[in-house]
């Protein structure tokens, strides 16, 4: 079988994980009682996981588009994005491949501040994020606009590195980290849920770490 964008060795492996329920513990953890979700282990480094392509996006050509069910579509260049209110946030991150990392310090633009400029329509219920490497992922609009969601340009006081999504990535820390698209280029607001890349390849449509929603059958 040809290695198309949706059919590579990586996607075949992870689809097999989904079919086998790999990493699932069956244990239920409570966020108010535990900081580490079920089936996760702590790491000190920051593993690099992606589709194998690290786009080299020049700031001179970078753009972020906000389209779909909005009153005011946006197409921001880097200077315009940097001119938006800057914020800092600290959060834990949890990867579906079982690693978690505590106390990540981010700097960037809060998702809510960006959406305030676009004015989502009342019928908008979800977003589909698209990256410069062609990656997509979906999540409910309410989750994307959560108070701790940020469009990050910095991590631990330094600009993001290319392998971690520079110049800007989404960070939605209360969901598994595949929902936090790297190299973000487009935010489409939609009126019904639509599967993204990993969701088409066996991963859960929502991805709550505390409910261990790793795969579509969970």
In this prediction, residue 2 carries a pLDDT of: 36
User: Domain spans of the chain?
Assistant: 9-211
Q: Which residue has the higher pLDDT, 170 or 31?
A: 170
- Contact between 103 and 90 under an 8 Å Cβ cutoff? The reply is yes
* Portion of the chain with pLDDT greater than 70, in percent: 84
CA pair distance 144, 187, nearest whole angstrom: 10
CA pair distance 163, 148, nearest whole angstrom: 23
In this prediction, residue 53 carries a pLDDT of: 80
Residue 114 has pLDDT above 80, yes or no: yes
In this prediction, residue 16 carries a pLDDT of: 54
Which H/E stretch holds residue 142? helix 141-144
52-109: pLDDT as tens digits? 789 999 999 999 999 999 999 999 999 999 999 999 999 999 999 999 999 999 999 9
The answer regarding whether domain 9-211 maps to CATH 3.30.160.100 reads: no
155-177: pLDDT as tens digits? 999 999 999 999 999 999 999 99
Question: How do strand 184-190 and strand 63-68 relate by DSSP bridges?
Answer: parallel
pLDDT band, residue 3 (cuts 50/70/90)? very low
């Amino acid at each position: 079988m040809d290695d198309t964008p949706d059919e590579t060795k990586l996607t075949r492996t992870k689809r097999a994980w989904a079919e086998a329920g790999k990493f699932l513990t069956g244990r239920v953890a409570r966020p108010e009682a535990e900081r580490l979700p079920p089936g996760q282990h702590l790491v000190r480094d920051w593993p690099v996981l992606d589709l194998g392509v690290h786009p080299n996006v020049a700031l001179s050509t970078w753009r972020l588009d906000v389209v779909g069910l909005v009153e005011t579509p946006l197409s921001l260049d880097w200077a315009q994005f940097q001119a938006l209110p800057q914020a800092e946030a600290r959060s834990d991150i949890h990867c579906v491949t079982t690693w978690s990392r505590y106390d990540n310090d981010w700097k960037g633009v809060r998702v809510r501040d960006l959406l305030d400029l676009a004015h989502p329509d009342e019928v908008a219920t979800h977003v589909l994020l698209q990256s410069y490497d062609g990656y997509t992922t979906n999540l409910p609009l309410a989750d994307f606009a959560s108070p701790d969601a940020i469009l990050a340009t910095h991590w631990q006081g330094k600009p993001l590195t290319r392998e971690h999504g520079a110049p800007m990535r989404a960070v939605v820390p209360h969901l598994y980290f595949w929902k936090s698209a790297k190299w973000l280029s487009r935010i489409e607001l939609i009126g019904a849920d639509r599967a993204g890349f990993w969701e088409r390849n066996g991963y859960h449509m929502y991805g709550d770490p505390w409910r261990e929603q790793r795969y579509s059958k969970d």
